Structures are given as structure tokens and as C-alpha cells.
Structure 1
């Protein structure tokens, strides 16, 4: 019995030593070391909370690093043969122009100036439904009525000053609102204002632009025809011939503001000119 008791005591001592070793091992497991995997620390146990700055993900790209789209200005000029073309695509997410061709070149506005007319009418609590009809159907009679009632050329000069439109000028003939001078860069600023200020009445009208204007002209050339099912909102312009044939397509496609202003020789019919404008937008949208 005494021999057995000695063995028993030795066993108890060894067991106690083993318990200490095991307990120490579990204590180390509560504070594991990080394992580097492709630069990311992976913990073998639940990690401690990290600060907000550490948890914030890094953006995949920034305005300064957003690449410009590869658009050949010469290729656009070839599409609008013997005419003029200016194009700007503005990325609203990164607040940068990804395409800019002839952005400061001047053009006759045609119906694009109705955007400024609409802003003036709504600012003075004018009839919303008529403003929307003027825009969605490009109604010239309503535009002429509003032009006379809400300031005429002062509409252009006032909004040019307010929005910083450096290339926009009122028409030489005060009665011809469609002869207002515009640039692609300035029209981008107009759309920025509409979108940033959530001009719902105007944007709704542009999203609901009818296929044919009030004069019967098909106004789905350019952005609508080229958008290929993507959401758009547009204000188009067309006129002839002082001295050139003018076709403009302006608006929003997805998150981009797209402005294409063109002039064509009077010898180029509207159908051909419209197809060329659509080809330009197709090139821009890729």
C-alpha cells in the first residue's frame, strides 16, 4: 500500500505540472498573432475593434485619377463632314469631364435655350404644366410667349451671370430666342444646376420628351437613339438655316451629362444630319 501510495503521489505531481502547461497554452491562444496574407492581416480569433479611420474603405478611384475616354476629335469631325461638332461628356460621380472636344466653340442654341426660359418661368411661379409641355414637346409657341412675358434677352444675361456661362450670349435680334449663342461647356453647367438643385419639374419633362416635337420633327436623334435602353433625359434643338443647319442633342445618360452641338451645311438634309449626330453620341457612349 505504501508503494502504491508513492506512485500515486508522483502521478498527482505530474498531473499538476501538466495542468499548468495546458493552462498556459490556452492563455496564449486568447491573444493570437496576425498572419499576413497578400497584405491583409487575418486573425485566428475574433480581432479587437479598430478605429473608424482604419475601418473606412479606400475608394477604388478618385476624381483626380478618373481616366479620360479615348475619343478621337478627328473621327468626330469626320462623322459631321463639312460641318462643326462639339462634344462634352461629364461624369457626375467624379465631377470631371471625361470627353471634351471643342467645348468652348459657339453655336446658335435653337431650342436648347428653352432650358433657361423654363428656369426663369418656374423661378417666378409660372405655369408648371405649360413649362413641361414646352420642354417635352419643344413647343415654340409656348417658348415665344414665355420669352416675351418673363424678360426676353434678360433671361439669357441673368442666367449666364448666375451660372457662370462664359460663352452664352443673348440673340442680336431680341425677338429671336433661338439665335441665342451657347457652348457645350456652358450647357453642361446648366445641367449641373438642374441636377444639383433637383429641378424636378424640368427633369421630369426632359425624361418624358416625346418622339416628335410640336412641329412634327422627330426629336429622338442623338442621345435617345444611341442610349440603347439606358435611362435618359433630353433637350434637343434643331433649326435651319442661318446659315447652317443646326442639330443639338443634350441631356443625361445614366450618371453622365452628355452635350453634342453640331452644324451641317444647308445642303445636308435633316435626316442625314440626325443620323450623323446619333453616330457621334454612339461613339461617345462606347
Structure 2
């Protein structure tokens, strides 16, 4: 009889514990985020959140059809916008020191004209006229870039930038005469912009930003360079350096710069096969920028 009472008491206690857990415990929830390390080196990932009682609810992503998707959705949606090629994206939030979007940030691309940012720093270090540097950047002038490239020691310019800016994945071109074949990643281009805004001498920063804010609609070669950030943001403020080339190895179109009163650094790098025309590739880059959350 005493043993039966013991079993009965144990059963009652177990039932009480189960009832408490069912009524009081919070459910386990999966929350999709796009968080990444502040240096632009992370990848979009899914994280989990198991909240304790009394904690604030996790906000749900907007389900409106026109609203950009975030987190893991971007990891599938952005590549789908460049169906025949490759796309890499980094968005860095300077105000919060975070990277809200980072997709395939370490894939290597040829730089096309983005290397002109490195050429500009070197030229200003050597005392080149700020007006010359601004013209090279704002019109993406290849002839001026070539002259400054040779004057600065060609591949020496890239090696110095790698050392000064902490570029972990940037390499000079194998052919020293082809500055546009410098290899870059989205993570490293983000580091170039962070150097510009946080560590560069004030006069160099002013010269380069003035050039990027004054980027002309057509480059010196006649190519329309308002694809990507300018077309996606319309009348919003921006400062951009664009890049385009073909065909080593494929059709390259890059858009990069600062948006929303210089709060966000945006880098979008793309490569398509030669069969994809420039007009199609430009539209793809612009759509990628339009899908980035929070930058407009």
C-alpha cells in the first residue's frame, strides 16, 4: 500500500511538471537574418532564436509583393536575377557597423574600372592634380587611367593598396599593362570604400567623393554608366564608381558606391557569358540593387 501511494505521488508530480512546461514554455522559433561580420566577409545565413518569457517578439518580414525579401530569401532571389551568370553583393551599414547583406562576397572577378579607385589614391599620393583624378573617376576615362597607371608603377599600385587597405583577396593583373584585369572581390571593394571614408586623408576623401557624386551619365568611351545604383535609386543621393568590360573571361558589369547620405556602402559585382548583351546585363544589375533592403 505504501509503494502504491509512492507511485501515485510520483505520477501526480510528473503530471504537474508536464502541465507547467506546456503552458509556460515559449515555442522555438526560426528567424531568418542577413547578419554578417562587419568587414563584409560573411554570408547570408539563417539563425535561430529561442526567446525567453517576456522577451520582445521577433518582427516578421514584410510579405508585400513589392517589398524586397531579406535573409535567406535574398540568397536565392539575387542569383536568380542573373540567371546565366554570377553575382556577388555586399551592403555595409556605416552607422551601425554591420553588414546587412553579404552574398558570395569572396568570389573573384576582374575589376574593370573599379581598380581606378586604387589608381586615384596612388595618383593623389604622388601629387597629381585633383582635377585630373576627378575627371578620370567621374567619366571613367581609360586614357587618363592608363597614364596614371604607368606613372604609378603599374602593378605596384595594387600591391600598395593591398597593404595599406588590408585587401585580403585582391591581386594585380598578370599582364602589367592590363589594369582592368586586376582581381577583386566584393568584400575587398567594400574595404576600399571603408578606407576612403574612415582612414584616407581628408583632402583625398573630398576629391574622390566629389568625383563619385559627379559621375557622368556616359563614360569617356560613350558607355552609359548609370546602370545599377543610379538607375535603381533615381533622384536619391549617391556617389558611384562603375565598371564594365568584355570579354576576359565574360561580360563584366559592376556597380559600387555610397548611398542614403553615405550611410550604406554598396558593392554589386556581376559576370555573364558573352552571349548576354550589355543591355540585358545592365537591367540585371539594376534589379539586384532594387532588391536590396533599406538602402533607398
Same fold (TM over 0.5): yes
1:272 paired with 2:280, answer yes
* Correspondence for 1:281 among 275, 278, 289: 289
In structure 1, the residue matched to 2:54 is none
Which residue does 1:141 correspond to in 2?
A: 143
1:192 to 186, 191, 194: 194
> Could you list the runs of 5+ residues in structure 1 that have no partner in the other structure?
1-62
| 2:104 is the counterpart of 1:96 | no
2:209 is aligned to 203
- State the alpha-carbon separation in 2 of the partners of residues 241 and 124 from structure 1: 32
CA offset at residue 69 of structure 1?
4.5
| Structure 1: distance between partners of 2:293 and 2:229 | 9
The equivalent position to 1:238 in structure 2, one of 227, 233, 244, is 244
Q: Counterpart in 2 of 1:216?
A: 222
TM-score (norm 2): 0.73
Aligned twin of 1:47:
none
Match of 1:169 in 2: 171
Runs of 4+ with deviation above 4 angstroms: none
Distance 1:220 1:134 in 2: 16
Match of 1:151 in 2: 153
TM-score by length of 1: 0.75
> 1:1-286 maps to which residues of 2 (within 5 A)?
69-70=70-71, 71-196=73-198, 197=200, 198=202, 199-254=205-260, 255-285=263-293
After superposition, the CA RMSD in angstroms is 1.7
Aligned residue for 1:284, secondary structure, equals coil
Counterpart-to-counterpart distance in 2, 1:215 and 1:171:
22
Between the two proteins, the alignment pairs up a number of residues equal to: 222
User: In structure 2, how many angstroms separate the alpha carbons of the residues matched to 1:136 and 1:159?
Assistant: 20
Q: CA deviation at 1:73?
A: 1.6
